[in-house]
Amino acid sequence: MKNETFNVVEPNQSLLKIRTFPVMHTLRTNLRPLVLPDADRLYEIYSDREAMKYRASPPMRLPEDAYTMIDESLEGFRDLSKIRWAIADRNNSELIGTGGFMHFENSGWLGEIGYSLDKNYWGVGIMTEVVIKLLEFGFEKLELESITATCFIKNTRSVNMLAKLGFEEIERFSASGNWYSPFANAIKYELKNK
């Protein structure tokens, strides 16, 4: 039997130290945990076919799907496999989307972000504010070495925002598509901690 060498990567201790859900703010939003009272509004956003056309997963079909997302988000935080924030309008506290770290890799040194926003808030820079805050949190608080994001090429707002924020394209691939488009081309981006 041949001797194999394995690289052992020490776990990211900054990630392991998080005990309470981090609440953050941008100019126009509050980033907080998803909670059960968000379910109706979450379903309204995530069942909208137009708002969800660039997501890999289909729109929610049942109101109960919103409760499942909330439960999965809370469980993901408890086991530190993901951190998904509710994005709330700072003026009226209304839920307008979600965003966060969808998973961590390499023992917690790399995080992938994902986000969705109510279509009524598209094109006004809100998601740029949110992603900047996610980057600050990821690099400063979690001490991540790298943050990635993947989006469909046709999602030009997301493509442009990631490029504007300094993300570099690392891979183009043909995905099996999503519920909206059976075949789609996607781009994976990366931003390294400086």
Q: Which two tokens stand for residue 23?
A: 């609440």
Contact between 82 and 102 (Cβ < 8 Å)? yes
What dihedral do alpha carbons 50, 94, 133, 27 form, nearest 10°?
Answer: 110
| CATH number of 104's domain | 3.40.630.30
By percentage, how much of the chain surpasses pLDDT 70?
90
pLDDT digits (tens, 9 = 90+) for 106-131: 888 999 999 999 999 999 999 999 99
**pTM of the predicted protein model:** 0.90
Does a structural domain hold residue 168? Answer: yes
Does a structural domain hold residue 1? Answer: no
- Cα–Cα dist 57/175, whole Å: 13
- Whole domain around residue 180: which residue ranges? 24-192
Looking at the chain, the number of H-run helices and the number of E-run strands are 5, 8
- Cα–Cα dist 194/182, whole Å: 38
